[in-house]
Structure 1
Amino acid sequence: MFDTKKVEIEWGGATLTLETGRVARQADGAVLATLGETVVLCAVTAARSVKEGQDFFPLTVHYQEKYSAAGRIPGGFFKRERGATEKETLTSRLIDRPIRPLFPEGFYNEINVIAQVLSYDGENEPDILALIAASAALTISGVPFMGPIGAARVGYVDGDYILNPTNEQAKTGDLDLIVAATGDAVMMVESEAKELSEDTMLGAVMFAHKACGKLVNAIIDLAEQAAKDPWEMAPQADLSAAKDKLKKLIGKDIAAAYKVTDKSKRSGLLNEARAKAKTAFADSSPQDQMAANKLVKKLEAEIVRGAILKDGTRIDGRTTTQIRPIEATVHFLPRTHGSALFTRGETQAICTTTLGTRDAEQMIDGLTGLNYEHFMLHYNFPPYSVGEVGRFGAPSRRDIGHGKLAWRALHAVLPSKEEFPYTIRVLSDITESNGSSSMATVCGGSLSMMDAGVPLKRPVSGIAMGLILEGKDYAVLSDILGDEDHLGDMDFKVAGTSEGITSLQMDIKIAGITEEIMKAALAQANEGRAHILGEMAKALDHTREELSAHAPRIETFTIDKSKIREVIGTGGKVIREIVATTGAKVDIDDEGVIKVSSSDTSQIEAAIKWIKGLVEEAEVGKVYDGKVVNLVDFGAFVNFMGGKDGLVHVSEIKNERVEKVSDALSEGQEVKVKVLEIDPRGKVRLSMRVVDQETGAELEDTRPPREGGNDRGPRGPRRDGGGDRGPRGDGGGRGGDRGPRRDGDGGRGPRRDGGDRGPRSDRARPESGNADAPAPDFAPAFLTGDRDD
């Protein structure tokens, strides 16, 4: 029934399978890609006609993760997949960026690329698999796609590159890098690194490129079995005459405009030249008018690119390695926890850092379940930043992508949660933009975090590099302008510290670049980053030692896991009482790590004291602060250590006699007590009289021991005998060996003086109410008034 075509290769220690013909057969191209037990379906559909007047390429990529792939039901009220998550948006961009340049110029048919994760094994990430499946589906679809491309993820652990690393290897290693490439050249790079050198990063890219070649060959094998007939492209019209006409008409105007360094004035001059061209073609057909608009853009690119390659002259007069003027200011906003205003040329960002507690962490629901992120970076690009009127609202895909790039650049230098137990949010608002606002976000974000007191390992700077490539001639540009980005061939962003690279991103508008060009771009970027770090240091060269007065304070300590229930209490009663009473926030995890937070240090101290009082054991002989909680006839109960009660007997309140407890103490009174004894049942006996109630210093106990009292020293012989008890019946007192309990003729034997006790009826017994009758010899000491014989 199914005409299934399949290829298999060993790749990164697992079997990669690409299959077509069994699923989604009505799409122009559909590939089921499997790696391990992760399965992704990618389907491609293309419109056969172009909308009238359309002069752009409407490529749309959608990546979606099905929760059923991991055996999960979506959380929240709606139990189905809804709008794209941040990861889905980033992966859609990851697929779009390398395939978009591989469609021919002038191809304006609408194309949908939809990739869906159908199965996820928890080890093999679906994002790379989706990119491979998209490349294969486009290759067999018949649309004019100049691929295929391969994609590879590379890790770096203990000095070795690892292809297709596991999640654990990616987290614990020093690199997480993704490369998409054709068989000849690299198309796209996305990475996060832990301060690696340029040579190490370049080696990783080349390692990935080699792995991509194997995938390209596998996709070609599949296409030889299952590719559809290629579309016939309409021949391109000869526009040389129109191009010459435009060059004569506005060539000099465009050249003069691009010598103006001010962006607003330059834009005004360019708009005048474009209007002149539009007037010249006003009587032409709509198709010719659209072609003329394209030719104007080409003419602009030729003029700018030619000047750069010929004599190194850039739009704003800089050399190819020169950085625009930089001005950085910290503590720009008075009430934020940390802030910075970073300006480079006509690009500007206001960056703020906000510190929060654990409950401010971002909850992320995905295929792997619920995760919590304590570092967030959000990027906003309002239309006024480029002097335009436009949509203002929810972040676009571009905003999310730029924010994630800056996040990767800064994530590598953050302190661990144990070192700095705060939730961190960096917000970047772009207020001016003329090239590389994402790298301005990196610089401003680094400064704002240092201003907030976040102990970064080192400051981070970022720079955007450009490329002009004509045949074998090329020029690498440092700190590119917006126009140089639009008219150039590469957007190459590098961020890092003085010790190495933390993030690298590259997008190519041509069919890839070589190792030689990448090496030159990395070396030039290194010089630029060092210069920017120096300019940033003029504003702030170290992390502030004190947090902002408006930031919460967090104190962390650990208790024994067996004591967690005592802190939480039944149904959370105790921990709620601590929070309500002290005003501090209290978080406790399953390992017994407790975080107490508040902007008021006295609240933190009160909560910590309370918690430690609940979990610490009282020590005999130690003095504690306490509070009287209850008065009774025989003493007072005192709460100490936050959660423990002990008894101060009336005799331990003062050295002198206390007739009535309420005369000496009152409920709620603050006192200082010393622990005298803790019995096996945990009952605590306290004393006030041996502690100076003003200073808390221990006092010498000068009161003499009381007869029958508690402080009477070691107990002597119970009666007049010594040593072991003798037989009960052979006399000599109780100190001797006891004899038989009864004698031969029924008498009990002498109890003390050796004589017979006689029958029970002969013994003297006090009559009821007879005060003069002697107490029985078995009466306790408090009745006889004498403990020893």
Structure 2
Amino acid sequence: MFDIHKVETQWGGETLTLETGRIARQADGAVLATLGETVVLCAVTAAKSVKEGQDFFPLTVHYQEKFSAAGRIPGGFFKREGRPTEHETLTSRLIDRPIRPLFPEGFYNEINVICQVMSYDGVNEPDVVAMVAASAALTISGVPFMGPIACGRVGYVDGEYVLNPSRDIEGSSLDLVAAGTQDAVLMVESQAQELPEDVMLGAVMFAHEHGKGVIDAIIELAEKAAKEPWELTLRDEQAEADKETMRAAVGSKIADAYKLTAKQDRQDALSAAKEEAMAALGDDLDANRKSKANKSFKKLEAEIVRGGIIKDKTRIDGRKLDQVRPIEAEVAVLPRTHGSALFTRGETQSICTTTLGTADSEQMIDAIYGISHEHFLLHYNFPPYSVGEVGRFGAPGRREVGHGKLAWRALRAVLPTKEEFPYTIRVISDITESNGSSSMATVCGGSLAMMDAGVPLKRPVSGIAMGLILEESGEFAVLSDILGDEDHLGDMDFKVAGTSEGITSLQMDIKVAGITEEIMKTALDQAKGGRAHILEKMEDALGGAREGVSKHAPRIETLTIAKEKIRDVIGTGGKVIREIVAETGAKVDIEDDGTVKVSSSNADEIEAAINWIKGIVEEPEVGHIYKGKVVSIVDFGAFVNFMGQKDGLVHISELKNERVGKVTDVLEEGQEVYVKVLAVDDRGKVRLSMRVVDQETGEELEDTRPPREEGDREGGDRKRRGRGGRGNDRGGDRDGGDRGGDRGRGRGRRDDKKSDDDGADAPLPDFISGGDD
């Protein structure tokens, strides 16, 4: 019933299996790819005809992760897979980018590539498996695909490259995915910890080399199961003739237009040249020929511009090949944001803002590998006015998600740890002008905005976009800081971001069938000089390091408590922590490891909450001075609450260095005082003193009172213990843990016989407690 074909190969220490003929047999091409226990199904379908008026290649890649693949049920209300997550969108782009340039020019049939993760083992990442499955499905489908391609993920641990590492690999300073054909590299996407150029280039070539075996396996599968290739006639003699007619009519005017440095002036000149070129073809053009003539004009533009760059080594706007456009950078441009920057490079401009929040602002990510939380967010917006056009304005599309993620990768490497800087960080990049790489402007502006907000970055990050003109002869020119037109008419978009110490992110897309190691090395070396130049301009704009975060940002203080004390701070049903928040006004977050984050825009509120928490979890230290509040007054002294829920007794003899007749002559309930811990017995009862502390400053005073005789002290203790029993019976048991009991007992003691004249100098009885509530 089934005509099943399978091939196997070793890839990164695992067996890769490619199978076709058993599942999705009505698709033009369907492959089930298995690596370990990760399984991805990719199905390819292609329209057999071109829609009328179609003048572009409608390739759509969809990547979907089934939660059932990892034995999970989706969170949320609907409990099913819905709109694509950010990761799914990025993976769809990751697959699209290397396969798109391998379709022939002029092929406009619609193609759908749908990849679904059916099983995930938690070790072998499904995105690279999906890319291999897509390559295999296209190769056997019969559509004009000039593949196959292969890819590989590369980590870098202890100076060694690791192929296809798992998500939880430790110690890796690199996460790079590269794809290419048997002969050349097509796509690179990466995130790195300030690695040098030679290490990054080595990682790309490592992935490319290990992908060759996968390509051999795909070819073996195609030899067994590929469908008949489509017959195509893409060369159009009429279009070629029209292009030469237009070259003769306006070729020199196109060259002159591209010498204008202002984008709008250049576009106006090109529009005039195009009208003249179309007129040279005649007035009786039908819709089909007119559409093809428009494409021929674009080809003519590309040939003229590219030839001029290769021949004269001069750019569209007159710059040298390695010259960066003028840069202007400002910080603190918005008064109420926590941090802001305006970064302008030529006709590309971004307003970046940074907002700092607490742990509650972290983004929860629900994916097949589990639930995680992200404390660094970067959102990129590209409104149509940035290029002087009208168009859709609203929710971000795939382009916005992809460009934002590139900038996120570039900046993440220099962020402080959560322990060093316990804030959630959100960066927004609003592109206000665009003629060149707006994602690299986002990297530069985002770095400045975070530093303006007081985020202690390791180092500032700059980014630059490189272009390529590659002729059939093999001659090439690498361009620094490309314009939009150079991007459209060139062969490569090569973005490099990093610090003065190394690269943090590298992304490459090309429009030809691949580039060589020599071209990549040239581009990396040229980009290094451009990044250094941009960093100098950024440092001039910042002016110096910020002292602390913005006055408009919440302050966050962190302390660590013992895990067994967490329940004491939270309290039954959250009663204690709610009381802390309500009374102090500060926000308190407690993590499972005992990390406590206290946040507020008011420093006094933070201090009050921290002191309260410390009072719950810490034990009083003998000899330390604390600030407390009088909570109860008795004949023989006062109970002072000095550490959250901890009380101690200041005996009447410890109020002042002179004799005190009544406690109420010195203290009243609610009064704040400084006290020194004299002793803590084995039952946690605390004895305090006020007389040895300056009540104005809280500083310790010299004890000038002569010591008593030990015999007197012991006799006084015995005498007090007799009366104390009666007071304890009346007032309740202090050790029961209820402060009300303490105060009740204190009131009971007031019924005792008044102390005699020398009672003011008597020592603290054993039964009197200043222990915990």
TM over 0.5: yes
Q: Residue in 2 aligned with 1:103?
A: 103
DSSP-derived class of the 1:167 partner: coil
Match of 1:147 in 2: 147
> Post-superposition shift, 1:479?
0.7
Q: Counterpart amino acid of 2:527?
A: A
Q: Distance between the aligned counterparts of 2:277 and 2:62, measured in 1?
A: 38
Deviations along 1:282-337, one digit per CA (max 9) or x if unpaired, are 52222211111110100110110111111112110111111111111111222222
Please name the residue that 1:131 is paired with.
131
Provide the rounded CA distance (Å) in 2 between the counterparts of 1:99 and 1:614: 61
Deviations 1:147-197 (A, max 9, x none): 00001011111111111112233x521111101100011000111111111
1:207-286 pair list within 5 angstroms: 207-238=206-237, 239-279=239-279, 280=281, 282-286=283-287
- Is 1:412 aligned with 2:413? yes
Choose between structure 1 and 2: higher helix proportion. 2
- Per the TM alignment, residue 561 of structure 1 is displaced from its structure 2 partner at its CA by 1.7
Which residue of structure 2 lines up, in the alignment, with residue 428 of structure 1?
429
Aligned twin of 1:33: 33
Distance 1:462 1:592 in 2: 39
CA distance in 2, matches of 1:535, 1:622: 52
Higher deviation after alignment, 632-641 or 206-215: 632-641
Three-state SS of the structure 2 residue aligned to 1:203 is helix
Give the whole-Å Cα distance in 1 for the aligned partners of 2:676 and 2:496: 64
Which of the residues 556, 560, 563 maps onto 1:561?
A: 563
CA distance in 1, matches of 2:175, 2:5: 33
Once residues 689 and 194 of structure 1 are traced to their aligned partners in structure 2, the CA distance between those partners, rounded to angstroms, is 58
Aligned to 2:450: 449
Query: Which letter does structure 2 place at the counterpart of 1:153?
Result: R
* Inter-partner Cα distance in structure 2 for 1:111 and 1:294: 21
One-letter amino acid of the counterpart of residue 232, structure 1: E
Q: 1:176 to 1:691 in 2, by over 3 A?
A: closer
Paired residues of 1:281 and 1:292 also in contact (CA < 8 A): no
Q: Which residue of 1 aligns with 2:379?
A: 378
The offset of 1:694, in angstroms, is 4.0
- Closer, same or farther: CA 698–641 of 1 in aligned 2, 3 Å: farther
1:473 and 1:656, CA in 2 relative to 1: closer, same or farther beyond 3 A? closer
Contact 1:705 1:712 in 2 (8 A): no
Q: CA deviation at 1:507?
A: 0.3
Amino acid at match of 2:286: S
Q: Deviations 1:581-614 (Å, cap 9, x if unpaired)? A: 2222222211111122222222221111111111
SS of 1:484's partner is: helix
Shift in Å, 1:353:
1.4
Q: CA deviation at 1:635?
A: 4.7
Q: Deviations over 1:367-394 (max 9, x none)?
A: 1211111111111111111000011001
State the partner residue of 1:349: 350
After superposition, the C-alpha distances for 1:383-433 in whole angstroms (9 at most, x for unaligned) are: 111000011001111111111111111111111112222211111111110
CA–CA distance in structure 2, aligned partners of residues 123 and 711 of structure 1: 72
The answer to whether structure 1 residue 545 and structure 2 residue 544 are counterparts is no
Indicate the residue corresponding to 1:181 in structure 2.
Answer: 180
Structure 1: give runs of 5+ residues left out of the alignment: 717-789
Q: Distance in 1 between matches of 2:194 and 2:714?
A: 69
Contact 2:107 2:234 in 1 (8 A): no
Which residue of structure 2 lines up, in the alignment, with residue 319 of structure 1?
320
Q: Determine the C-alpha separation between the residues in 1 that align with 2:499 and 2:448.
A: 13
Look up the match of 2:10: 10
Q: How far 1:620 sits from its partner (Å)?
A: 3.6
Retained in 2: the 8 A contact 1:655–1:703? Answer: no
Distance 1:707 1:193 in 2: 71
* Pair 1:292 & 2:288 matched: no
1:516 aligns with 2:554: no
The CA deviation at 1:260 is 1.1
**Could you tell me how far apart the structure 2 residues matched to 1:511 and 1:693 are?**
81
Alpha-carbon deviation of 1:663? 5.5
Kindly tell me: are residues 404 and 541 of structure 1, through their superposed partners in 2, closer, same or farther at Cα, counting changes over 3 Å? farther
Pick aligned residue for 1:644 from 646, 650, 666: 646
Query: Compared with structure 1, are the counterparts of its residues 710 and 522 closer, same or farther at alpha carbon in structure 2 (3 Å cutoff)?
Result: same
- From the superposition, tell whether residues 619 and 90 of structure 1 become closer, same or farther in structure 2 (CA, over 3 Å): same
* 8 Å CA contact 1:692, 1:699 repeated in 2: no
Partners of 2:673 and 2:72 in 1: CA distance: 57
CA distance in 1, matches of 2:538, 2:266: 29
Offset at residue 18 of structure 1 (A)? 0.7
Aligned to 1:74: 74
> Conserved in 2, the CA contact under 8 Å of 1:330 and 1:447?
yes
Kept in 2, the 8 Å contact 1:625–1:672? The answer is yes
1:313 and 1:162 mapped to 2: Cα distance? 41
When normalised by structure 1's length, the TM-score is 0.87
- Cα separation, 1, equivalents of 2:341 and 2:444: 9
3-state SS of 2:366 partner: strand
Same amino acid, percent of matched pairs: 73
Report the equivalent of 2:195.
Answer: 196
Who is 1:206 aligned against? 205
Conserved in 2, the CA contact under 8 Å of 1:282 and 1:289?
Answer: no
CA contact (8 A) 1:706 1:712 kept: no
Assess if the C-alpha contact under 8 Å between 2:158 and 2:171 holds in 1.
no
- The whole-number CA distance in structure 2 between the counterparts of 1:260 and 1:621 is 79
Shift of the 462–622 alpha-carbon distance from structure 1 to 2, 3 Å rule, reads: closer
DSSP-derived class of the 1:539 partner: helix
Q: Do the aligned partners of residues 284 and 159 (structure 1) sit closer, same or farther apart at CA in structure 2, a change above 3 Å counting?
A: same
Aligned partner letter, 2:145 = F
SS at match of 2:541: coil
User: Residue 56 of structure 1: CA displacement?
Assistant: 0.6
The CA distance in 1 between the partners of 2:385 and 2:671, in whole Å, is 64
Residues in 2 aligned to 1:391 and 1:448: alpha-carbon distance in whole angstroms: 28
SS at match of 1:172: coil
Greater Cα offset, 589-598 or 467-476:
589-598
2:389 is the counterpart of 1:388: yes
Q: Distance in 2 between the 1:72 and 1:282 partners?
A: 64
Confirm or deny that 1:20 pairs with 2:20. Answer: yes
Match of 1:673? 675
Q: Structure 2 vs 1, CA of residues 203 and 677 (structure 1 numbering), >3 Å: closer, same or farther?
A: closer
Q: Which residue of 2 aligns with 1:458?
A: 459
Instruction: Please state whether the residue corresponding to 2:463 is helix, strand or coil.
Output: strand
Find the aligned partners of 2:163 and 2:572 in 1 and give their Cα distance. 51
How many residues align structurally?
Answer: 715
- Superposition deviation, residue 647 in structure 1: 3.4
1:543-576 superposed Cα distances (whole Å, 9 cap, x missing partner): 3233222122222221222211121111111112
For residue 516 of structure 1, give the secondary structure of its aligned residue in structure 2: helix
Q: 1:211 to 1:666 in 2, by over 3 A?
A: same
| Deviations 1:479-528 (CA, angstroms, capped at 9, x unpaired) | 11000000000001111111111111100101001111111111111111
What is the Cα deviation at residue 352 of structure 1? Answer: 1.3
SS in 1 for 2:60: strand
1:715-752 CA-to-partner distances (Å, cap 9, x unmatched) read: 99xxxxxxxxxxxxxxxxxxxxxxxxxxxxxxxxxxxx
More off after superposition, 219-228 vs 230-239: 230-239
SS in 1 for 2:92: helix
Aligned with 1:196: secondary structure?
A: coil
1:687 CA drift (Å): 4.2
| CA radius of gyration, larger in | 1
The residue that corresponds to 1:467 in the other structure is 468
Q: Residue by residue, what CA displacement relative to the aligned partner does 1:440-473 show, whole Å, maximum 9, x if unpaired?
A: 1111111111222222221111111111111211
Task: After superposing the two structures, state which structure 1 stretch, 484-493 or 581-590, moved more.
Answer: 581-590
| Structure 1 residues 512 and 692: alpha-carbon distance in aligned structure 2, compared to 1, 3 A threshold | closer
Q: 1:688 to 1:360 in 2, by over 3 A?
A: same
Separation in structure 2 between the aligned mates of residue 617 and residue 473 of structure 1, nearest angstrom: 76
> Does residue 611 of the first structure (1) align with residue 613 of the second (2)?
yes
SS at match of 1:9: strand
Question: 2:495 is matched with which residue: 493, 496, 499?
Answer: 493
In structure 2, C-alpha distance between the alignment counterparts of 1:685 and 1:49, rounded to whole Å:
93
- 1:659 Cα deviation after fit: 6.9
SS class of match (1:290): helix
- Measured at CA, do residues 455 and 702 of structure 1 come closer, stay the same or move farther in structure 2, by a change above 3 Å? closer
Deviation at 1:20, TM superposition (A): 0.8
Contact 2:6–2:19 (8 Å) recurs in 1? yes
Instruction: Using the TM superposition, give the Cα deviation of residue 251 of structure 1 relative to its aligned residue in structure 2, in angstroms.
Output: 2.1
The equivalent of 1:585 in structure 2 is 587
- Root-mean-square deviation (CA, aligned residues, Å) is 2.2
How big is each residue's C-alpha offset from its partner over 1:33-84, in whole Å with a ceiling of 9 and x where there is no partner?
1111111111111111111011111111111111111111111111111111
